[in-house]
């Protein structure tokens, strides 16, 4: 049976825009294998902790491909709460 063993902090490259007043808006996430995921919309932005894998920073709730997920800016790096799969024995 396959499932999620937990979450781990995975640092990712992010394409972002910074306004003249310093507000950072993420535009796309680039995975370590080169896959690029455009961010459809930023739904929320707030200072928060990652409860699943540790760390703190600005937490963005973003919509990618119709799914909502968290993206964290832990200055100067970005990370996601990556799923760790349980592999069958």
DSSP string, the chain: --EEEEEEEEEEEEEEEE-TT--EEEEEEE-TTS-EEE--EEEEEEEEE-TTT--EEEEEEEEETTEEEEEEEETTEEEEEEEEEEPP-
Note whether residue 16 is domain-resident: yes
Is residue 1 scored above 50 in pLDDT? Answer: no
Q: How many domains does the chain have?
A: 1
Confidence of residue 33 (pLDDT cuts 50, 70, 90): very high
87 falls within a domain: no
Instruction: Report yes or no on 75 lying in a domain.
Output: yes
pLDDT digits over 2-26, tens only?
555 678 899 999 999 999 999 999 9
Domain-located, residue 29: yes
**Would you state the pLDDT for residue 5?**
66
Write out pLDDT tens, residues 55-79: 889 999 999 999 999 999 998 999 9
Does 38 map to a domain?
yes
Q: What is the pTM of this model?
A: 0.85
Domain assignment present for 89: no
Q: Which domain holds residue 28?
A: 9-82
């Amino acid at each position: 049976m396959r499932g999620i063993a937990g979450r781990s902090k995975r640092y990712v490259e992010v394409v972002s825009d910074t306004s003249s007043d310093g507000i950072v808006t993420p535009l796309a996430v680039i995975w370590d294998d080169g896959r690029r995921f455009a961010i459809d919309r930023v739904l929320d932005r707030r200072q928060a902790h990652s409860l699943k894998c540790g760390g703190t920073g600005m937490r963005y709730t973003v919509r990618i491909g119709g799914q909502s997920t968290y993206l964290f800016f832990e200055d100067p790096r970005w990370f996601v709460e990556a799923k760790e799969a349980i592999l069958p024995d």
